Chain A
Amino acid sequence: MFSKFDVIETIEMIEKEHLDIRTVTMGISLLPCIRATAGETSDAVYDRVMQKAERLVETAAELSSEYGIPIVNKRVSVTPVSLISAAFPSESGKIGAALDRAAKELGIDFLGGYSALVHKGTADYEKLFLSTIPEVLASTDRLCSSVNVGSSKSGINMDAVRTMGEIVLKTAQLTKDKDGLGCAKLVVFCNAVEDNPFMAGAFHGVGESDTVINVGVSGPGVVEHALKYIPDADLTDAAELIKRTAFKITRAGQLIAREAAKRLNARFGIVDLSLAPTPARGDSVAHILETLGLEVVGCHGTTAALAMLNDAVKKGGVMASSRVGGLSGAFIPVSEDIGMIESATAGQISIDKLEAMTCVCSVGLDMIAIPGDTPASTISAIIADEAAIGMVNNKTTAVRVIPAPGKKVGDEVSFGGLLGRAPVMPVHKGDASAFIRRGGLIPAPIHSFKN
């Protein structure tokens, strides 16, 4: 049983502190859609997604109304398209277009899975698939793409890293009229997870069952608010409070996930325990760190504060849910977090500090605008650094940078909505092209050999 104070606490969390279910994501296997030609496969893909996710938006609205908690995004993730189009890779764009059309007709926010897994090597069909990404992202609206270039077990595919630097740059150039928006829909991963409900990196892994529901919870505002009540507590007590708060948030996610899976005739996949910010005030991970005592996110101490936050969120969340997965931790996207935007605009946080922060939280360099004239080799080098952090530390890392066409340090890019806005941040000028040109595979670290 619960008390009247519990009822009021929940209502305050939802109405004043931005507690919401950030996303209900339906993972759909496309493996049964493979046909002899690109045209037939596209038709089968479209039909399957439309049929499986037909009631996704409606069901989310029902759940939101019954439980009184907002469900912000409704999304779909699919089997990496490079596997579905392997027999006709240069025509992969047809499948991308079919998926984008389905996403629009279903009324969902984003559909993820225009993806390839090339962490140990890039097959010929994957090379052709990768080359289609810029044009597909420029000609679609809701389709997201991700490429896994490394893993702790396999090492880092530096040929793919080199290619992805070029693809990120080309994607920005093809969407230059929208500040390089295409790059906001493209993530390069190391240790990508197969059940991530968050975009742009969601895809439905081949090890997953046919149709699953994965839910991402949110609530940085709830954690920030709770911490404001204990301004003088030591960090042990602060961690404990974050844990308790994460527990409550996750329980809401677990309830929605179970219920959504039941009503949509899908399996309950996982709850992703992430604290995902939005550009709205009161919904910021950066502000949690500042509430812990930092003058501004990015100053010395930020990495330690984030490490504590990330760990406490996981501990509270794991206790609350029978199935935990996805990225699970604190997100630090620059353009999607008002505290990050303000710190970056004031020059208080650098890419180097963000990179350090990615060593201790669940994601990577995310939604960072960099100068439009950044060479592809520098973007590849940024990807390589992040992938190395992920590979060595057995964690997921990602790069989602936007080389903003025609813009330089101090300018701003604006994508609107949840994608937010970001100042263009400086990158190091030193040339890494000779290193990137070497290609090959960075071998997996010795501690990955556990068998």
Chain B
Amino acid sequence: MRAVVTVTGSDKRGIIAKVSAFLFEHNINIEDVSQTILGDQFAMIMMVDMSESREAFASVAAALAQLGEKIGVTVRLQHADIFDAMHNV
């Protein structure tokens, strides 16, 4: 299953390292990473493949959100279909 991880907040050291380490530990493969500026904030978008992940989606999402709180940014995990549905005819 394809999913999208988004990280938003003020830029600081170690965001990519910590989020990538989390994904590695949970058997989630990163397929693509891009960064941009969202208003005055840092935004990172990762396309990930969760087919090897054995955990329930909701618990991974909750753990990622918790990790974000620890770092001081907002981290979300969403099924990729929502973006496909909304932005493709």
A residues bordering B, Cβ < 8 Å? 1-12, 62, 65-69, 248, 251-252, 254-255, 319
Known contacts A10-B83, A255-B85, A4 near B36 by CB under 8 Å: yes
Instruction: Select which of A8, A66, A67, A252 is within 8 A of B36 by beta carbon.
Output: A8
Instruction: Select which of A9, A11, A251 is within 8 A of B76 by beta carbon.
Output: A11
Nearest A residue (CB) for B78: A68
B45 CB, min distance to chain A CBs, angstroms: 5
A-B pairs with beta carbons under 8 Å apart, 17 shown: A1-B84, A1-B88, A2-B84, A3-B87, A6-B87, A8-B45, A9-B87, A11-B6, A62-B58, A65-B62, A66-B57, A66-B58, A67-B78, A69-B82, A252-B82, A254-B85, A255-B81
What residues of chain A lie closer than 8 Å to B58, measured between beta carbons?
Answer: 62, 65-66
For window 1-60 of chain B, which residues contact chain A by CB distance below 8 Å?
4, 6, 8, 34, 36, 38, 43, 45, 57-58
Please determine whether B57 and A7 come into contact, CB atoms closer than 8 angstroms: no
Please determine whether A2 and B61 come into contact, CB atoms closer than 8 angstroms: no
Tell me the complex Cα distance, A5–B87, Å: 10
B residues bordering A, Cβ < 8 Å? 4, 6, 8, 34, 36, 38, 43, 45, 57-58, 61-62, 76-79, 81-89
Please determine whether A10 and B86 come into contact, CB atoms closer than 8 angstroms: yes
Nearest B residue (CB) for A69: B82
Tell me the complex Cα distance, A10–B89, Å: 15
What residues of chain B lie closer than 8 Å to A68, measured between beta carbons?
Answer: 76-79, 82
Tell me the complex Cα distance, A55–B50, Å: 25
Tell me the complex Cα distance, A12–B36, Å: 14
Please determine whether A7 and B4 come into contact, CB atoms closer than 8 angstroms: yes
What residues of chain A lie closer than 8 Å to B82, measured between beta carbons?
Answer: 10, 67-69, 252, 255
B89 CB, min distance to chain A CBs, angstroms: 8
Please determine whether B85 and A252 come into contact, CB atoms closer than 8 angstroms: yes
B61 CB, min distance to chain A CBs, angstroms: 6
What residues of chain B lie closer than 8 Å to A62, measured between beta carbons?
Answer: 58
Please determine whether B57 and A8 come into contact, CB atoms closer than 8 angstroms: no
Tell me the complex Cα distance, A357–B52, Å: 54
Known contacts A2-B88, A8-B36, A10-B86, A67 near B45 by CB under 8 Å: no
Nearest B residue (CB) for A255: B85
Please determine whether A65 and B84 come into contact, CB atoms closer than 8 angstroms: no
B73 CB, min distance to chain A CBs, angstroms: 13
Tell me the complex Cα distance, A12–B77, Å: 15
Please determine whether B45 and A4 come into contact, CB atoms closer than 8 angstroms: yes
What residues of chain A lie closer than 8 Å to B43, measured between beta carbons?
Answer: 4, 8
What residues of chain B lie closer than 8 Å to A10, measured between beta carbons?
Answer: 82-83, 86-87
Nearest A residue (CB) for B59: A65
Listed from nearest, the 4 A-B pairs whose CB atoms lie closest are A68-B78, A6-B87, A255-B85, A251-B85
B34 CB, min distance to chain A CBs, angstroms: 5
Tell me the complex Cα distance, A346–B76, Å: 42
Nearest B residue (CB) for A251: B85
What residues of chain B lie closer than 8 Å to A6, measured between beta carbons?
Answer: 83, 86-87
Instruction: Select which of B8, B57, B88, B89 is within 8 A of A11 by beta carbon.
Output: B8
What residues of chain A lie closer than 8 Å to B34, measured between beta carbons?
Answer: 4
Please determine whether B83 and A65 come into contact, CB atoms closer than 8 angstroms: no
What residues of chain A lie closer than 8 Å to B88, measured between beta carbons?
Answer: 1-2
What residues of chain B lie closer than 8 Å to A67, measured between beta carbons?
Answer: 78-79, 81-82
Tell me the complex Cα distance, A12–B62, Å: 20
Nearest A residue (CB) for B77: A68
Nearest B residue (CB) for A7: B45
A140 CB, min distance to chain B CBs, angstroms: 33
